[in-house]
C-alpha cells in the first residue's frame, strides 16, 4: 500500500516541476509581459553583439566597396572530369571513335578551376541538353595555397 502511494505522488511531483520550468500565460496581460521580456532580452543580446564587433563591420564595408569594383570582371571556368597520360604513339593513333580512359571513376567529383586555380569539387549534372555542375565542396583558401606550393 505504501508503494502505491509513492507511485501516485510521483506523477504529481513531476507535473509540479514541469509547471515551474516553463511559465504559461494565464491571460493576455501575462502573454504580453512574457513577449515584452523576450523582446527586451533579444534587444540586449543584439546590442551587446553590436558593441563587440564595430571594427569588423567597418572592415566588411570597406571590403564590400573594394569587391564592387571587380565584380563584373569575367573569369574563365574550367571543369576537369579526369586526366590521363598517354604516349606520343597513342596520341598519333587517335581517330574518331577512339576511347581514352581517364583516371577518375564515373562517381568521382570533377575539379572546378577559375582562371587556372582549383576552387571547388562538383558533380556532373545534365541541364536540358547541356552538361552542368552541382557544387559539392568549396576549396578553402589554405588548401588552395598548399596546392600552389606543390606545383
Domains of the chain in start order, with CATH, are 75-149 (2.30.330.10)
- pLDDT of 56-106, one tens digit each? 566 666 777 778 888 888 999 999 999 999 999 999 999 999 999 999 888
What local confidence, expressed as pLDDT, does residue 22 receive?
A: 45
Percent of the chain with pLDDT over 90: 33
pTM of the model: 0.51
What local confidence, expressed as pLDDT, does residue 18 receive?
A: 45
Contact 86, 100 (CB under 8 A): yes
Q: What average pLDDT does this structure show over 26-50?
A: 66
**Alpha-carbon distances, residue 32 vs 37, 41, 117 (angstroms):** 9, 14, 56
Task: Report the alpha-carbon distance of residue 94 to residue 145 in Å, rounded.
Answer: 37
Checking if the pLDDT of 44 tops 90, the result is no
When mean pLDDT is compared across 5-14, 106-115, 132-141, the lowest value belongs to 5-14
Provide the strand spans (E) within 13-129: 77-80, 110-114, 117-127
When mean pLDDT is compared across 27-31, 73-77, 133-137, the lowest value belongs to 27-31
Amino acid at each position: 500500500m505504501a508503494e502505491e502511494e509513492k507511485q501516485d505522488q510521483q506523477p504529481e511531483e513531476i507535473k509540479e516541476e514541469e509547471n515551474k520550468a516553463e511559465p504559461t500565460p494565464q491571460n493576455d496581460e501575462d502573454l504580453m509581459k512574457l513577449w515584452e521580456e523576450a523582446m527586451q532580452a533579444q534587444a540586449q543580446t543584439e546590442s551587446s553583439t553590436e558593441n563587440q564587433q564595430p571594427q569588423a563591420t567597418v572592415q566588411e564595408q570597406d571590403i564590400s566597396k573594394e569587391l564592387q569594383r571587380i565584380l563584373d570582371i569575367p573569369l574563365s571556368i574550367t571543369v576537369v572530369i579526369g586526366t590521363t597520360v598517354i604516349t606520343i604513339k597513342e596520341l598519333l593513333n587517335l581517330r574518331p571513335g577512339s576511347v581514352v580512359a581517364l583516371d577518375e571513376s564515373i562517381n568521382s567529383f570533377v575539379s572546378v578551376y577559375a582562371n587556372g586555380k582549383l576552387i571547388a569539387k562538383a558533380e556532373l549534372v545534365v541541364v536540358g541538353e547541356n552538361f552542368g555542375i552541382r557544387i559539392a565542396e568549396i576549396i578553402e583558401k589554405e588548401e588552395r595555397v598548399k596546392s600552389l606550393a606543390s606545383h
